Homo-oligomer: A and B are copies of this chain.
Amino acid sequence: MAEKITPRATNYSEWYLDIVKEAGLAQNAAGVKGCMVIRPTGYALWEKMQRALDRLFKDTGHVNAYFPLFIPMSYLAKEEEMAEGFAKECAVVTHYRLKAEPGKPLHVDPTAELEEPLIVRPTSETIIWRTYKDWVQSYRDLPLLINQWCNVVRWEMRTRLFLRTAEFLWQEGHTAHASAAEAEEETHKMVRVYQKFAEEWMAMPVLVGPKTDGQKFPGAVYTLCIEAMMQDGKALQAGTSHFLGQNFAKAFDVTFKDKENKEEFAWATSWGVSTRLIGGLIMTHSDDNGLVVPPRLAPTHVVIVPLGKNDAERGPSIAAAEKLAAELRALPRDEFFGYEPISVKIDTMFDKQPGFRYAEHEVRGVPVRVEIGPKDIEKAACAVARRDVPGKEGKQFGVALATAADHIAKLLRDIQQALYDRARAYRDGCIATANTLDEFKALFPVEKEDGGTTAGLKFVYAHWDGTRETEDRVQAEYKATIRCLPFDGPVEAGTCIFTGKPSARRVIFARAY
């Protein structure tokens, strides 16, 4: 398996696609340009993510609901920025019937044209705020704290599995509040929930802060985001939380009577993360041997590989494997693993060489591999290999079978922490500061990007004059965008390195997915 994966240093994009393929995560759909099939291992990752995020949403008072897939074109038109922002990516339903006539090919029935075209939701602010109009009369009806898990469609021409596809899965939170302050608090709260999920489940450190006006969501007053660094130094926008002001309340006439019986427009937020996170997970932790998954999100936590040349040798290995598996599964459920049992598989591919079997589990990113052979049985022991440290260095021999379950349960927690620490150290090591345009130019070389490696890219702090014009020019010349104004970044004033005008603070530039 491993030999099928292009090394990162050779070609980073190929490496990424090889992992998506060889770990069985996803593939391009046949016949439907830009759509993907999420394969079972990829979907299992998404289920784990959903479970953890859903718990975080519910713990912060949110409930789930479901709104229609279709949005009347006129709804989209009601919020001008949103209409402009999404018009070019809309899949449009115009007919509601086909005709199957004997002897003729199946075709669209021209007599079944919709009076008004329906858009397949690219995001649901419009249909949801039209619904909120029915739900909100008084301040007592507020806040509405609602989330939706669903599919959305944004017609993309250049797609890449998980990172950019025409259809993707996501969650979209849509809240309505009686005051701007409360809605802004929600906007900040939810970006911090995303940060928590990214760091504590995905083991992926993120910068948190507002987008520039040029990069904000169409229809938002401002957008907060989490930005992660991939191993090639590019940024991945991993989640966004928008303060929408009263824009959608005004577009859909959602008003409420406040405590003084005065009519007011409601205040809105929306926030979302998507299957794009799976791309981020891959590019944060994986290596040239394949996928690496943080234990809290791993569909399979432990694979046990019993070894032996013949049935006589295999019998005791299998028995020990089954005993250990049962012990692991029976460990008390706790919050760390979402109150699910530790997931254990026993590999019985005895017709393959051990090396092949190990590589198979490595490519799929199982966090811990246990090997039990005849010599181990003699010593009532096993070997335990951690996926995040490949090779001998990460393999511990002679782990007593009697205490192996506890040992492994602790190791899984250690791996989770180690992955975060490693990603954090890598990211922090790739944050630079450019004090002059020349320094900036050196950090964003303009050679052709695709195919070759882009390793060595960095997150670059630089002074910027705060204008859209400068931002657009930098993007055009260096393919670098302002990722955000990190809440935790330095805030001293200075001079814009592009125009020499005053700058309120340094911002983060990066190339991005």
Binding site for B on A (CB under 8 A): 27, 29-32, 35-40, 42-44, 46-47, 63-77, 83-84, 86-100, 105-108, 117-120, 127, 130-131, 133-134, 146, 150-151, 153, 155, 167, 169, 333, 339-340
Does the CB pair A94–B108 fall under 8 Å? yes
Say how many copies of this protein the assembly contains. 2
Contacts of A105 in B (CB 8 A): 77
How far does the Cβ of A171 sit from chain B's closest Cβ, in whole Å?
13
How far does the Cβ of A218 sit from chain B's closest Cβ, in whole Å?
11
Option from B43, B73, B90, B96 in Cβ contact (under 8 Å) with A96? B90
Interface contacts beyond A69-B120, A92-B96, A92-B97: sample of 6 additional A-B pairs, CB < 8 Å, sorted by A: A32-B70, A42-B65, A73-B108, A74-B106, A87-B98, A97-B155
Residue of A43, A87, A93, A108 with most chain B CB atoms under a 10 A cut-off: A93
**Given contact pairs A39-B65, A63-B40, A94-B95, A32 touches B71 in the complex (Cβ within 8 A):** yes
Does the CB pair A92–B83 fall under 8 Å? no
Q: A89 vs B96: C-alpha distance in the bound complex, in angstroms?
A: 7
Does the CB pair B93–A97 fall under 8 Å? no
How far does the Cβ of A162 sit from chain B's closest Cβ, in whole Å?
12
Q: A18 vs B99: C-alpha distance in the bound complex, in angstroms?
A: 37
Q: A150 vs B150: C-alpha distance in the bound complex, in angstroms?
A: 8
Closest B residue by C-beta to A156: B96
Contacts of A72 in B (CB 8 A): 31-32
20 contacts between A and B (CB under 8 A): A29-B131, A32-B68, A32-B70, A32-B127, A42-B65, A43-B63, A46-B66, A69-B167, A77-B106, A87-B100, A91-B95, A92-B96, A92-B108, A94-B94, A94-B108, A96-B155, A120-B120, A151-B151, A339-B339, A339-B340
**Given contact pairs A43-B65, A64-B43, A127-B31, A90 touches B98 in the complex (Cβ within 8 A):** yes
Option from B64, B93, B127, B131 in Cβ contact (under 8 Å) with A44? B64
Does the CB pair A40–B68 fall under 8 Å? no
Does the CB pair A87–B97 fall under 8 Å? yes
Does the CB pair B134–A27 fall under 8 Å? yes
Contacts of A64 in B (CB 8 A): 40, 43-44, 47
Q: A203 vs B42: C-alpha distance in the bound complex, in angstroms?
A: 34
Does the CB pair A43–B69 fall under 8 Å? no
Contacts of A131 in B (CB 8 A): 27, 29-30, 37
Q: A153 vs B97: C-alpha distance in the bound complex, in angstroms?
A: 12
Does the CB pair A37–B66 fall under 8 Å? yes
Q: A130 vs B361: C-alpha distance in the bound complex, in angstroms?
A: 28
Q: A76 vs B99: C-alpha distance in the bound complex, in angstroms?
A: 12
Option from B27, B98, B167 in Cβ contact (under 8 Å) with A70? B167
Q: A304 vs B405: C-alpha distance in the bound complex, in angstroms?
A: 41
Contacts of A63 in B (CB 8 A): 40, 43-44
Does the CB pair A97–B89 fall under 8 Å? yes
**Given contact pairs A40-B146, A65-B43, A106-B83, A31 touches B96 in the complex (Cβ within 8 A):** no
Q: When A and B form their complex, which 4 residue pairs have the shortest distance between CB atoms, in order from nearest?
A: A35-B68, A38-B66, A77-B106, A87-B98
